[in-house]
Chain A
Amino acid sequence: MKVAVLQFPGSNCDQDALKALRDDVGVDADYVWHNDGSLNGFDAVFVPGGFSYGDYLRCGAMASRSAIMQETIRFAKEGRPVIGACNGFQILTESGLLPGALLKNERQKFICKDVMLEAVNRTSIWTAAVDRTISLPIAHGEGRYVIDADGLKRIQDQEQIAFRYVSNPNGSVDDIAGVVNEAGNVLGLMPHPERATKELLGGNDGLLILKALSLVNA
């Protein structure tokens, strides 16, 4: 089992993700550079947070056009696990792997704090182990999840809402913090599970999500 941690210019949670995956989740992991076209040898993908390409144009828009994202789209369509947190979530929506979009927070300002989350649908690999309310940090300026009414109904009906905020920090529609694709193998969420893998740093609830990676059959 080996996880690819994608690196774009401006990613800044790539090193945190690699450290958490190797040291705390206990899986093999390595970086893959943005203009690499191949995920050969990898069994899962972590799209990290940060400000890929400086968030120029639109958060995640330029990263979604990179060579490695074309490969990641192909990889995801094979049903293999892909997770994107924060800017990673924005990249996954821009790539079309996940529905909806992320806009500026309702109060216009960047928010960094811990939030409580509940797993909504427990059928995907990402939520299967989340059997209680969990606490994860958020750190974003553009984390307000939006989707049109039809789209919302569709993701509600198809059980694609993965996480909801207990107390909505950013104005996301339907309190949505994270969604999965129809097949359930691709998860995007604004909170940072890779920042919550150690008691020393304030909690390890992120492991309940990330441990799914250690169960993937290589």
Chain B
Amino acid sequence: MAAFTPEVYSSMGLNDSEYALLTELLGRDPSYTELGMFAVMWSEHCGYKFSRPVLNRFSKYKEAMEGEGLENAGVVPLGDGLGITMKVESHNHPSYVEPYQGAATGVGGIIRDILTMGARPVALLNSLRFGPIEDGKAPDAIVRKNRYLFDHVVEGIAGYGNCVGVPTVAGEVNFHPNYSGNPLVNAMCVGVLKMDEVTTAAASGVGNPVIYLGSSTGRDGIHGATFASEAFGEDSEAKRPNVQIGDPFAEKQVIEATLEALATGAIVAIQDMGAAGLTCSTVEMASKGGVGMDINLDLVPMRENDMSGYELMLSESQERMMAVAEKGREQEVMDVFHKWGVHAVVVGYVTEGETLRVSRRGQVIAELDPKLLTDHCPVYHSEQTEPESFRKAAAFDPSSLPAIDPHSALLRLLGTPDIASKRYVYQQYDQQVQTQTVWSSGAADAAVIAPSGAKKGFSVKLDGNARWTKAHPLRGGQLAVAESARNVACTGALPVAVTDGLNFGNPTYPEVYWQFSEAVEGIASASEIMETPVISGNVSFYNESELGEIPPTPMIGMVGVLEDPSKAIGLSPRLGDELILIRTGQPLSAHQGLGASAYVVDVIGTEDGYPEAPDLAAEKRLCALLAKLASEGAINSAHDVSDGGVAVALAEMVIAGGLGIKAVLPAAQLAAAQLFGEIQGDVVVSSSNLGKVKELSEQADLLVFPLGTTTAGATLNLTGLFGELSWNLAELTSAYESAIPRLMGAADLA
């Protein structure tokens, strides 16, 4: 074999030192196929070469990487022998190039990750970021493109999730100019499994057959993982063939066949063929099991018979999986798949020793120790620099902000795409299939699922705030954990675990790496204090375009357990309820909750100041309190105070409940801060038992402010430094509900 030129390996995404390292590890020049295998396995997407040093900050991740792998670390007990598993995954780059298929295959991939744990996928969530869709917020052509991306990403998620029969129950959509050239599409899946039937990806048992399962392999998505680990250049359009095509109908069959086949007990190990396809599945399964594998690619079901070994190993065709079965029981497994109309073919065997041998048309085209690909990926320690803008933002003075009419400011906030109703989006998702959905998008702060056959239920949310994280990455990381926990607790669930989707710019830029490192520190410290460990996650770097870096965007998927799902609550108060603000109560900074707030950014039009720091120990007590109040029936609804402050939170409760609220707001120094300050650790509850709420809150060392009551007159009436202001339900609803349909050129939906 001859050495390859830099043109060849750099086109696959490898640099000079990486090429030198792999040649040294092999003790020879690689074959072309081997070179491609190194390129994908050592991409950031598979190898985590930039993120690993920072991810060690997550204790479960560190334990798992040093111990027996991530599989068992990722399951949360639900009682009755059942457990919950979850994971989030990014599909950002493909979704820019081909939004429908990019988003659809993101959903398909994360479903298979959960399925190959041995779990039935029971809920999907997504977190989306796009450039502005409002006229004037970007050049016309870019606004039109953003709307196109938004519409087609949502349709892709709907098209896949609805067909595959997994409900899409919650999510979020936000907009910022720096996502224009690089939208974010993160999909999350939650599965339910039997605790004693968690499957492994570690191949074992010399002589056991290796079975290829699922759709046939085509030329789509070759080098998709490498593509995901590069910045966008001008040739993104030319990368359309790198995007895979999804077939949710095939996936549905794969789900049912896999669960039925796992139940036979004849499957020893199983893994998704996702990023890096056959390469990743064979390499990782052999490496984890410390065994070798002989694979004959001639046996792989192909869409075109003339595919080369290289293409077969690198293809990312969708809806495929790899399993190792017990010797002699392969027919049992294959019969199940055939019943469901899914390919199942023995393509090789587990061998002794630690050599993965791949052949095509009688020739060995790759022969190497899989551990070279999984354990020897180089790790880079990037430089970190705190950006100048960060220091400047400390000087933000909210008292110098221009005065704005608070009545119209609230309507403006309700109509900004970040805050406005996402009915346009979630109405396109089947939220109820599987008939386990107690609460879903729009009706509660988080989704609530009551899995069939379980006494307990769970609540789940995917949440992040790039506005806060851009202003202060450490606090942004902490707040993402605190707020997603609060969201879950507002349904009455006790938050127990986290999955994180970490979306950042180019990690070789010191300012980006600083954002990454600070945000991860924030997530790790918050999840330790709140006892919600990070059990899985995903890193996506190189989210940049000619328009610049994206804002740092960590997204937190939080799951909480509900002892009794029938006690779960939504956000609509009832007539006759008293409204009470519960507050963690740390002193406010000089930024008064207005730093990096929706009010300052979207109404005033300046990105300045820091978000408030959370009191994480008090946030944990707040979550426990909400779970207790809900389980004892002491509150009828709860809603987190977030974007737009308490005024927006109360307006959302008015809109959801279709009734009025009359309230006096807690004291503050500035009228804008009193209405729109994003004071961390605030939750509004409604109750017909104020005494009980007071008593339990005080026991939990939290502050209580009775605000007022619900009223039959459909008006939001607020009193404070600004005097007395009223908004009627119709104007609030119109601002909130019509904003996105209007921008997308659709009729009103309500």
Contact = CB atoms under 8 A, between A and B. Distances in A.
Interface of A: 9-10, 12-13, 15-16, 19-20, 50-51, 53-56, 107, 109-113, 137, 139, 141, 192, 194-195, 197-198, 200-202
Interface stretch (B162-170, B279-287, B688-696, B717-725): B162-170
Contacts of B747: 107
A202 B568 CA distance: 12
B343 to A, nearest CB: 14
Given A50-B165, A200-B566, A12 B432 contact: no
A201 B165 contact: no
Interface string B427-441: 111111111111000
B428 A112 contact: yes
Contacts of B566: 200
Nearest to A200: B566
Contacts of A192: 432
Given A51-B248, A201-B438, A13 B433 contact: yes
A61 to B, nearest CB: 14
A198 B435 CA distance: 9
Interface in B353-398: none
Given A12-B252, A51-B248, 5 more contacts: A10-B252, A13-B433, A50-B163, A200-B565, A201-B438
B737 to A, nearest CB: 13
Contact of A55 (B163, B434, B437): B163
Given A50-B165, A51-B249, A139-B430, A110 B435 contact: no
Given A9-B340, A19-B452, A201-B438, A110 B162 contact: yes
B249 A109 contact: no
Contacts of A16: 433-435
7 contacts: A51-B248, A109-B427, A110-B429, A112-B426, A112-B428, A112-B430, A139-B430
A83 B201 CA distance: 43
A54 B163 CA distance: 7
B308 interface: no
Contact of A9 (B158, B164, B249): B249
A12 B746 contact: no
A12 B435 contact: no
Contacts, number: 86
At the interface, is chain A mostly helix, strand, loop or mixed?
Answer: mixed
A111 B427 contact: yes
Contacts of B340: 9
B32 to A, nearest CB: 36
B174 to A, nearest CB: 21
Contacts of A113: 427
A15 B249 contact: no
A10 B340 CA distance: 10
Contacts of A15: 434
A107 B746 contact: yes
Interface in B550-609: 565-566
A56 B249 contact: yes
Given A111-B427, A200-B566, A201-B437, A54 B432 contact: no
B435 A194 contact: yes
Contacts of B164: 12
B249 A110 contact: no
Q: From A51, A110, A111, A141, name the one whose CB has the most chain B CB atoms within 10 angstroms.
A: A110
Contacts of B159: 110
B430 A10 contact: no
Interface string B143-169: 000000000000100110011110000
